Structure 1
Amino acid sequence: MAEWAKRIGALNLMVDDLAAMKRFYRDTFDLAPLDDEPDTLIYRLGDLYLALRLDRAHQPSPTDQAALAGIGVGQFALAVENVDEMAAELQKRGVTLLSGPADLAWGIRTATFADPAGYVWEISQDTD
């Protein structure tokens, strides 16, 4: 059997407002889309391609997304050096935190926030 990298190279998410997502990724992460079509935005985050695709009919509500993310479903996790500094920077950029910064029992410090489609992002650092 051929060897393969065993890592995710691309992720496609369905969203209902591409303009809001484009503003969020620009204002929060200083990212411009690699591809900007009427129904798709594509970004590169390190080795991951993130495609945001317009789909009004099947998009869960932001409330549903946040509830699912509360148990880790569909949540993005980003490792950072200092959660408190990054959380403060996000707030300066107009991002509202959903939780934290807070220490968790298993040795990490986290904070979470959501994008306009309701997908939840977690920033975390090891505390051990």
Structure 2
Amino acid sequence: MEQRVSLITLGVSNIDTVAQFYESLGWHRVQTPDNIVVYDLLGQAIGLYPLAALAEDIGVDPAALGKGAMTVGQNLRSKEEVDALMAQVEPAGGKVLKQPQEVFWGGYHGYFSDPEGHIWEIAYNPFSPLRGDDGAFRWGGY
């Protein structure tokens, strides 16, 4: 198995509400079949897929999938970018779980959840600067 992630799929109950949330934060969806929403990322994609259909595809009860047991992280270029993005969360329909603040290891971060509880960490890590204009991330920098 190669060490990479190609697609992160979030099982959602209301695809329109969750899609509107991400689009309110500035994301742009790509063309997909009905009932699927996908946002291309840098070398990866995040997909929104109906929770019941995802459970059926896997062959489990929807309750078995749970939610909120992991976080998706996005590193930004500065503390100011973290603050600006976090300020967009609640007007877009999400919930700020932890206001941006200094972290013991020298960074700056906050947490929010989308309308269905998927948790994001938004961070500035001065020890892992993003690469150029594309914003590629590598632990420890490039």
How many positions carry a matched residue from both structures? 116
Displacement of 1:121 after TM fit?
Answer: 0.9
Unaligned runs of 5+ in 1: 69-73
Q: Which structure shows the bigger proportion of residues in strand conformation? A: 1
Counterpart of 2:76? 80
Q: Is contact 1:107–1:126 with CA below 8 Å preserved after alignment?
A: yes
Counterpart of 2:67? 65
TM-score by length of 1: 0.72
Q: Is contact 1:35–1:43 with CA below 8 Å preserved after alignment?
A: no
Matched residues in 2 for 1:60 and 1:117: separation?
16
Counterpart of 1:71? none
Counterpart of 1:19? 16
Counterpart of 2:115? 116
Matched residues in 2 for 1:17 and 1:34: separation?
19
> Over residues 27-73 of structure 1, what are the superposed CA-to-partner deviations in whole Å (9 max), with x where a residue is unaligned?
113322431513x2122122112222112361579xx734x3xxxxx
Q: Is contact 1:11–1:49 with CA below 8 Å preserved after alignment?
A: yes
TM-score by length of 2: 0.66
User: Identity rate of aligned residues, in percent?
Assistant: 20
Q: Is contact 2:95–2:114 with CA below 8 Å preserved after alignment?
A: no
Aligned-CA RMSD value: 2.7
Counterpart of 2:130? none
Specify which structure has the bigger relative contact order, considering alpha-carbon pairs within 8 angstroms and separated by 6 or more residues: 1
